[in-house]
Amino acid sequence: MKFEADQISNGSMRFTPPKSWLEKRGGANHQIIGLCELICYLDKQWAGATGKNMIEIGSHAGESTFMWGASGFFNKIVAIDPFQMNYAWAIKKLYKQNISYFDTITTVENFSFRVDNKFATESIDFLYVDGEHTLWDLTQDLELYEPKVKVGGYIAGHDYSPPWPDVVNLVNERYGEENITVFSDSSWLVKKTS
Ligand SMILES: C[S@@+](CC[C@H](N)C(=O)[O-])C[C@H]1O[C@@H](n2cnc3c(N)ncnc32)[C@H](O)[C@@H]1O
């Protein structure tokens, strides 16, 4: 069991981040705190309304997916991930455990760019983009999935932070820095206004 956990902790894990991540923030786990901030932000914007739907691109071990499920906002969460990472068997096991608490989550085991045609234009309330973070991949995800978000809905993603300059530059250029809200896990969020 320890072997399994050791292998997995080399990946990006919100629930059990490596010590080095925690040390940066005085020991508190901002990978969780930041997503809670984002969820509180949505709660204010939506004035507590539920029955929303969302797409997550990149679910990994299902930890952010768990948080969306636990938020109670969504009656439909589509989680897209090809699960082709290192130690996929172990990551998938954790993913299945994490999503098992909720009957609102549908898993699409594929690459985002192969399944975009499954979703209607302006049909979702919230998009969270956390797949590949290269300029090319993130641009592609936003080009393909931004149209799926309703006007008045929210587009968000992870890793708006210095180690990911492509994410910061692209999000700034695309949406304008003044329109972006950033949370302490380095999630970013904008409202789709047109
Ligand atoms: C940083 S992890 C996601 C972490 C997760 N959102 C969380 O916060 O707990 C990135 C994930 O994106 C997935 N991924 C990479 N390219 C993808 C694509 N084109 N479509 C969907 N998922 C992708 C990888 O398999 C990996 O599991």
Q: Which domain holds residue 113?
A: 50-191
Whole-number Å distance, alpha carbon 111 to ligand 1 midpoint, is 9
**Ligand 1 pocket by Cβ (under 6 Å):** 12, 14, 57-60, 63-64, 80-82, 85, 111-113, 130-132, 158
Report yes or no on 162 lying in a domain.
yes
Q: What is the pTM (predicted TM-score) of this model?
A: 0.96
Which domain CATH number covers 62?
3.40.50.150
Report the candidate in 145, 140, 169 with the shortest Cα–Cα distance to residue 156: 145
Residue 75 lies in a domain: yes
Based on the number of CB atoms within 10 Å of its own CB, is 35 exposed (0-12), middle (13-18) or buried (19 or more)? buried
Q: List the chain pLDDT tens, one digit each, 194 residues.
A: 455 555 666 556 888 887 888 888 888 999 999 999 999 999 999 998 999 999 999 999 999 999 999 999 999 999 999 999 888 998 999 999 999 999 999 999 999 999 999 999 999 999 999 999 999 999 999 999 999 999 999 999 999 999 999 999 999 999 999 999 999 999 999 999 99
Residue 23 belongs to some domain of the structure: no
Ligand 1 atom having least distance to the Cα of 140: 19
Residue 175 lies in a domain: yes
Q: Which of 65, 93, 86, 92 is nearest to 7 (CA)?
A: 86
Domain count, the chain: 1
- Centre of ligand 1 to C-alpha 180, Å, is 22
User: Does residue 164 form part of some domain?
Assistant: yes
Largest CA distance in the chain: 49
**Does a structural domain hold residue 121?**
yes
Asked, for residue 30, whether it belongs to a domain, the answer is no
